A and B are shown apart, each in its own frame.
Chain A
Amino acid sequence: MISRFSINGIQKDFEYEPGITLLQLLRREGYFGAKYGGCSNGECGACAILLDGVPVNSCRILAAQAVGHLIETIEGIGKHPEQGWKKTEGLHPIQKAFIETGAIQCGYCTPAQVLAAKSLLERNINPTEEEIREALSGVLCRCTGYLKPIQAVMRAAAVLRGEPVPEIGEGSISVDDWSTSPKDVDHGKSTAETNGHAGVSTKVSPKVHITTKTREYHAVGKSEPKLDAVKLVQGKPAFTSDIELRGMLVGKILHSHVAHAKIRKIDTSKAKALKGVAAVLTWQDIPRVVYSTAGQSDPIPGPLDMFSLDSRVRFVGDRVAFVAAETNEIAEQALKLIDVEYEELPVVLDSSESMKEGTVRIHEEPEYVNFADSDPSKNLAAKIRIDIGDVDKGFSEADLIFEEDYEVQKVQQAHIEPHVAVSYWDEDDRLVIRTSTQVPFHARRILAPVLGLPMKRIRIIKPRVGGGFGGKQEILIEDAAAHLTIATGRPVLMEYTREEEFIAARSRHPMKIHLKTGVKRDGTITANEMYALSDTGAYGCHALTVTGNTGQKSMALYVGDGIYRKNPNIRFYADIVYTNHPPAGAFRGYGVPQGFWPVERQMEKIARALNIDPIEFRIKNAVRSGELHPFSTSWSEGREPRPEIIHTVGLEECIRQGKAVIGWDQKFNNPQWHTVEDKPYLRRGIGIATVMQGTAIPYLDMGGASIKLNDDGSFNLLVGATDLGTGSDTVLAQMAAEVVGVPTEDIICYSSDTDMTPFDVGAYASSTTYISGGAVVRAAEKVAEKLKERAAKMISEKDGVPCEKDQIKLADRKAIAPDGRCVSISEIAYNSLHHTDQEQIMAVASYVSPSSPPPFAAQFAEVTVDTQTGKVIVDNLVMAVDSGVIVNPVAATGQIEGGMSQALGYAVSEEMRYDEKGRSIDTNLIDYHIFRSNEMPGMEALFVETYEPSHPFGVKAVAEIPLDGVAPAVGNAVLDACNAEINTLPITPEKVYSALKKSRK
């Protein structure tokens, strides 16, 4: 068919098949701003465009249906204002507001959000917050928690109404200004009455209690807009699948539909005979190389137990064959034509059964490589035994012992951009893999043997990443795309569907945890013991390290008081077992949320049983600054442990500030507050959880950076660190800018490409700002030295009066002598590149840290519980964080808000469930519910800065800690509301109902 389409005001004739969707047509024609979220029901909304002015999901209508209607895509909304000699009208006020307010993180759903906002504001220039939330609710965002996009729409509306808007930096105020205000946020009435709408006014800048040091900086500590925001807000083709290579094939994976089987026979002849099929690969066609998909440093701290393709399948979703074909449809058809004869094996799905004698063995392959205590004969992927102090003595000294079982579920990272990779041979016969990854350098190292290529013949390019959250710290599909490129010689695009994300990607490890705590009657903890049974699924990727973190972070917080403080008694044992579930892996928080669920629930129950204020109880036993990290002498992710002192602990201040903002003192122990007028079946509750994380892996995580001066005084900053949308490129640029004395906009940051950028372990373990930032600062300092040296010479030569290099300051794009004489950075650049003693001023540096300074936080939740149905509405979340110095307050707030919203799903709605045959029940984002903009509770993030001495700018991590405390705070709030004891996540209406029924018996 040929039809005329009206796109962005231009009429265009396109030839197309009647069955193609509008999304397929738009992307084929280069409108890459409409994104593919992998879903089959249009539930993510990343593909939304405007049809006759209203947002519709282009993946769920046929292109033909749009003929005769006005189509608007992000490409038609606004452009970069300066295009050389050609000037444009610039960005639309909505796009500008998205940039200014930090509403863009990964940017994958940004075009759809901007379009939804445009549609709303064209009809209603003065929308309420609720109307904005509703308008954005068709687009799922996994990064932001929606607060900033809502603020952006409010700001844009004000601009469009011609009203003045405040500067973004306004609002970072000193601590005393806000801690004393008893009810800083008017949380109004229970959101149970307003269907969960937050009903709080939005604020752009977070409250930050800044350190005196921060006040001296010009770039660090400022809410600079994200460097990549301008391209993302325009929907530029910045993501992995936004390219079209000549002759590109579509790669697909045939996934097993049985949970455990040997492949007796596999016949690919019919599939190969299908017209348009370029290759079909099975385990018989490619080398058998054992490896681990975990994107970690060498040596991988876990077993090698995986093959690209194997003659055995170990979970529903495991790989059976790879297909490359001319189109997606042909590839899908080819998958159906592959005949597989399975010899089914017994299935083990219950982790408690896994290690029992007589249970089927999941790994029998002779190539299996053990790590530490892994033992495939027992289905044991990893084992941890940590004893600190004398735990048994500690228990014998306790007045009371509290002991309970807890359970945490399997959940999905659910980044909106699915896993996607494009592989091709370049003109030098080097294999290029463009991939949405958190770990480009690990990917290159791990893939080389798997593909039979020397590492130097592989190049990994990481474009913008549409969210990762740990899911892309995995070499998940790059090998499959690459095998198909090797087989066909052609470029291959391999992109997961949402269903594949659920059945064949990674997830958070589900665990069964037993926690035993000994306490004195005065509330002193004498010993604490945790046993975690962790289900790694069919493969052991991240098995040891994730579960190690479960104990290492959560059990480190409460060391006890008095004599126990100096010599805490802590035991953490864990078995990480194989089952026939899809493998678990890395997920933001990396084992720590699993640990804090039992720890923080148990602390609450103990305090209540002892009749001690739960906050006082926590503070009494929590670790303090200057104390040894209790685990540092006994555990370091399977490597040699070395003692570490915790220098900065802002926990008490976080609690104080968080309490003030949520209005704790007015609510806790206030019987009247706990009721809802005219609805006797509703009960309100308030809860807290205090948490800690880590910052990078000491003596292991390494980041590199190089900085190069350009003629105009700008700098190229090349980092191997991978910005997943977190804003790390911007934060690293801010640090560089601070050192070399230029505004952040003069730093052109590029990350990452294994051919071009220095090595970096990648984006995980909350390490980028701290580790890669350390490398950037060192490199920048070297460059600054050279700038000063040349500047001193230039200044001295100008008028013959000598000037000392060490006295020169770099600021305002200049090198300035104490007497005011100066040269600009650009003059230095011209001098060095063109005029005198020519040299390229540049430097490379790297950084490894001897410590992992923990960030701390107090997380608060307010809930309303329907005591008859068990329905729980989370009304408010507040989090006060000590993450050291906050380099970019708006970006950091985005991390907290986004993290809290993911953690909220963990608390109440997200769960990957399986039937008795190991088949996934939740394979889309309808059954697996992640929060939308119109149901978020009120949220507020506060920062209590400390100055971490181990980092040049005093920073600690911020990205993972928000995942840790929401679930237990919500659990504690439910307990506070109605005495329902829920030990198993998520807190569903049914569980609350059952708990209440039990408690009333």
Chain B
Amino acid sequence: MIIEYHRPVNLEQAKKLLNRETPMTVPLGGGTELSKYTEKPIAVVDLQSLGLDKITTAKNICKIGSMTRLQDLVENNEIPGGLSKAARRETTINIRRTATIGGLLMKADGLSPLLGCLLALDVKIHWEPGGKTIYLGEWLAKERKKSPGKLITEIEFTTPVEVEYDDVARSPEDRPIVYVIAAKWETGEIRVVYGGCGYAPVLGSDGSKNMISDIFNRYTYAASMERAGFTEYQQSAIRTLIDRMVPQKGIFGGKGLL
């Protein structure tokens, strides 16, 4: 049950409120999750007036404010196209106009194309109070338990980067059964992430163009996918999509399974 609603107008006020011990006080992003009824009495701190909804792309870094709506990612032409596509596949347009990157980072699971994309982009998350940062991959590996702050202010990733997104679903707008995202930097580094089940998306590979086929042989893939809980069909579809996405890298010989 939400017993208090606050709308601070600067970060200091927000931090102060979030530092309170009682009542339990949490940030409010878009509210798509928090507006659901909970029995626990909580206070919410609405971040809408803090100016945390900017997307900036300068000096090889793209920064996205935590209050950026998912639909803003869809409509932004400066960010990689694959990121927009993944944001679009996250949920419906009306919810995308409300839900925020901050809320998504806190809540999304292995079925989330956008979380997968952020993992592929190797985003760094900025936290307050304290101004600490943590890479998404590291944070997910800790099961989001030891957050270095109470409030995500923004995320950032290195640019320029190309992002490819593909998925398999029962219908074009259905939630993906599996998705694959590949991010590729000018340095030659490629990160491939896939998802479709479990607590978080899986980082399939992180390495140079040459490393990728070594690290990424069928067997390590199969093992990691099985561990993550992917069904046999999902594993096969993931392999196919990766092969299509990066056939020149020689992953699985560019053939797919069939």
Same complex for A and B? Answer yes
A 862-879 contacts with B by CB, 8 A: 866-871, 873-874
Whether A935 and B173, one on each chain, are in contact in the complex, defined by CB atoms closer than 8 angstroms, is: yes
- Please state if A929 and B237 are interface contacts (CB–CB under 8 Å): no
Contact A195 B172 (CB under 8 A): yes
A40 to B48, CA, bound (A): 23
Is there an interface contact between B175 and A926, defined as CB atoms closer than 8 Å? yes
Q: Is B192 an interface residue (CB 8 A)?
A: no
Partner of A868, one of B36, B39, B97, B258: B258
Name which of A173-181, A300-308, A985-993 contacts chain B.
A985-993
B60 an interface residue at 8 Å Cβ cutoff? no
B24 to A: closest C-beta gap in Å:
14
Q: Are B32 and A42 in contact (CB under 8 A)?
A: yes
Contact at B173–A871, with CB atoms within 8 Å? no
Q: How many residues of A contact B (CB 8 A)?
A: 62
A60 to B174, CA, bound (A): 20
> Of the candidates A60, A139, A329, A989, which one forms a contact with B170 in the assembled complex, judged by CB atoms under 8 Å apart?
A989
> B39 to A333, Cβ gap below 8 A?
yes
Q: How far is the CB of A722 from chain B (nearest CB, A)?
A: 31
| Interface-lining segment among A50-58, A283-291, A621-629 | A50-58
Q: Does A716 contact B (CB under 8 A)?
A: no
Instruction: Kindly state the separation between the CA atoms of A871 and B244 in the bound complex, as whole angstroms.
Output: 15
Q: Which residue of B lies closest to A112 (CB)?
A: B94
Q: Mark A208-220, 1 if CB is under 8 A from B, else 0.
A: 0000000000000
- Which residues of chain B from 69 to 125 have any CB-CB distance to chain A below 8 Å in the complex? 91-95, 97-98
Please state if B177 and A989 are interface contacts (CB–CB under 8 Å).
Answer: yes
The chain B residue with its CB closest to the CB of A905 is B171
State how many angstroms separate the Cβ of B235 from the closest Cβ of chain A.
11
Task: Flag A187-203 by CB within 8 Å of B: 1 or 0 each.
Answer: 00001000111000000
B residues within 8 A CB of A137?
Answer: 92-93, 173
Interface stretch among A61-69, A550-558, A652-660, A803-811? A61-69
Q: Cβ of A2: which chain B residues have Cβ within 8 Å of it?
A: none
Q: Are A62 and B171 in contact (CB under 8 A)?
A: no
Choose among A55, A116, A138 the residue with the greatest number of B CB atoms under 10 Å from its CB.
A138
Q: Would you call B169 an interface residue if the criterion is a C-beta within 8 Å of the partner chain's C-beta atoms?
A: yes
With a cutoff of 8 Å between Cβ atoms, the chain A residues found around residue B257 in the complex are 868
Complex Cα gap A56–B172 (Å): 22
* Contact status B171-A909, CB under 8 Å: yes
Task: Tell me if B's interface is mostly helix, strand, loop or mixed.
Answer: loop
Q: Which A residues lie within 8 Å of B237 (CB)?
A: 869-870, 989, 993
Closest residue of A by beta carbon distance from B38: A19
The minimal Cβ–Cβ distance linking B53 to chain A, given in whole angstroms, is: 13
Q: Which of A195, A867, A934 contacts B258 (CB 8 A)?
A: A867
User: Given known contacts A1-B5, A135-B93, is B171 in contact with A994 (CB within 8 Å)?
Assistant: no
- Closest A residue to B241 using CB positions: A869
In the complex formed, the residue of A with least CB distance to B256 is: A868
* Cα distance, A909 to B177, chains bound together (Å): 12
Q: Measured between C-beta atoms, what is the minimum distance from A200 to chain B in Å?
A: 15
Say whether B36 contacts A994, CB under 8 Å.
no
Interface assignment of B52: CB less than 8 Å from any CB of chain A: no
Chain A residues in 8 Å Cβ range of B32? 41-42, 60-61
List B contacts of A41 (CB < 8 A). Answer: 32, 95
Q: Which of A21, A874, A932 contacts B92 (CB 8 A)?
A: A932
Q: Is A443 an interface residue when CB atoms closer than 8 A count as contact?
A: no
Task: Using known A-B contacts A62-B2, A332-B37, A993-B236, determine if residue A908 contacts B170 with beta carbons closer than 8 Å.
Answer: yes
Q: Is B138 close to A, CB under 8 A?
A: no
With the chains together, A31 CA to B147 CA distance in Å?
Answer: 42
**B28 sits at the interface (CB 8 A):** yes
Residues of chain B lying within 8 A (CB to CB) of residue A908: 170-171
Q: Are A40 and B170 in contact, with the CB atoms below 8 A?
A: no
Are A18 and B3 neighbours in the complex by a CB distance under 8 Å?
A: yes
Q: In the complex, what distance in Å separates the CA atom of A17 from the CA atom of B46?
A: 15
Which of B28, B169, B172, B258 sits near A65, CB closer than 8 Å?
B28
Contacts of A59 in B (CB 8 A): 35
Map CB proximity to A onto B31-64 as digits: 1 under 8 Å, 0 otherwise.
Answer: 1101111010000101010000000000000000
**Complex partner residue of A935 from B31, B171, B175, CB under 8 angstroms:** B171
- Contact call A909/B256, Cβ cutoff below 8 A: no
> In this assembly, does A572 line the interface, its C-beta being within 8 Å of a C-beta of chain B?
no
Q: How far is the CA of A116 from the CA of B32 in the complex (A)?
A: 19
Residue from the set B7, B92, B168, B174 with the largest chain A CB neighbour count within 10 Å = B92
Closest beta carbon of chain B to A910's beta carbon, Å: 9
- A43 at the B interface (CB under 8 A): yes
| B240 CB-CB contact with A under 8 Å | yes
* Contact residue among B37, B92, B173, B241 (Cβ-Cβ distance under 8 Å from A19): B37
Known: A42-B94, A935-B171, A990-B233. A996 touches B258 (CB 8 A): yes
- For residue B175, which residues in chain A have a CB less than 8 angstroms away from its CB? 926-927, 929
A885 at the interface (CB under 8 A from B): no
If A60-B35, A134-B93, A329-B37 touch, whether A932 touches B173 (CB-CB below 8 Å) is: yes
B98 contacts A62, CB within 8 Å?
no
Whether A914 is near chain B, meaning CB under 8 Å from some CB there, is: no
A54 pairs with B36, CB closer than 8 A: no
Contacts of B169 in A (CB 8 A): 871, 989
Instruction: Say if the beta carbon of A14 comes within 8 Å of chain B.
Output: no
Contacting pair A57 B94 (CB below 8 A) = yes
A264 CB-CB contact with B under 8 Å? no
| Min distance, Cβ A1 to any Cβ of chain B, angstroms | 7
Contacts A19-B2, A19-B3, A56-B97: A64 and B46 contacting too (C-beta < 8 A)?
A: yes
Cβ of A990: which chain B residues have Cβ within 8 Å of it? 177, 231, 233
Contact with A along B1-25 (1 / 0, CB 8 A): 1111101000000000000000000
Is B137 interfacial (CB 8 A cutoff)?
no
Give Cα A608–Cα B2 distance, bound, in whole angstroms.
Answer: 64
- CA gap between A43 and B91 in the complex, in Å: 8
Contacts of A931 in B (CB 8 A): 171, 173
Selected contact of A55 from candidates B2, B97, B231, CB within 8 Å:
B97
Q: Mask for B161-199, Cβ within 8 A of A = 1, else 0?
A: 000000011111111010000000000000000000000
In the complex, chain A residues whose CB is within 8 Å of the CB of B93: 55, 134-135, 137-138
Expressed in whole angstroms, the minimum distance between the Cβ of A67 and any Cβ of chain B is: 8
Contact with A along B232-248 (1 / 0, CB 8 A): 01001100110000000
Residues on the A chain within 8 Å of B31, using CB:
60-62, 65
CB-CB under 8 A from A65, the residues of chain B are: 28, 31, 46, 48
Given A60-B31, A989-B168, A42-B48 contact (CB < 8 Å):
no
Knowing A18-B3, A871-B168, A1000-B258, the reply to whether A62 touches B35 (Cβ < 8 A) is yes
CB pair A196–B171 under 8 Å, yes or no, is yes
Q: In the bound complex, do residue B5 and residue A929 qualify as a contact, i.e. CB atoms below 8 Å apart?
A: no
Chain B residue with Cβ nearest A119 = B97
Q: A392-425 CB contact bits vs B (8 Å, 1 = yes)?
A: 0000000000000000000000000000000000
Whether a CB of chain B sits under 8 angstroms from the CB of A718 is no
User: Which residue of A is nearest B43, CB measured?
Assistant: A18
With A and B bound together, what is the CA distance between A635 and B4 in angstroms?
65
Within 8 Å of chain A (Cβ to Cβ): is B204?
A: no
B49 closest partner in A (C-beta): A68
Known: A19-B3, A993-B258. 13 other contacts (CB 8 A): A43-B95, A55-B94, A57-B94, A67-B7, A329-B37, A868-B240, A868-B257, A870-B233, A909-B171, A926-B175, A929-B173, A934-B172, A993-B236
Q: Which are the 9 A-B pairs with shortest beta-carbon distances?
A: A196-B172, A138-B94, A19-B2, A18-B5, A935-B172, A909-B170, A935-B173, A138-B93, A64-B5
- Could you list 25 examples of A-B contacts with CB < 8 Å? A17-B2, A21-B35, A42-B94, A43-B95, A55-B94, A57-B94, A61-B31, A61-B35, A62-B35, A62-B44, A64-B7, A65-B46, A138-B94, A139-B94, A191-B172, A196-B173, A867-B258, A871-B169, A873-B171, A908-B171, A929-B170, A931-B171, A935-B171, A989-B168, A990-B233
Which chain A residues have a beta carbon within 8 Å of chain B's beta carbons?
A: 1, 17-19, 21, 40-43, 45, 48, 54-57, 59-62, 64-65, 67, 116, 134-135, 137-139, 191, 195-197, 329, 332-333, 681, 866-871, 873-874, 908-909, 926-927, 929, 931-932, 934-935, 986, 988-990, 993-994, 996-997, 1000
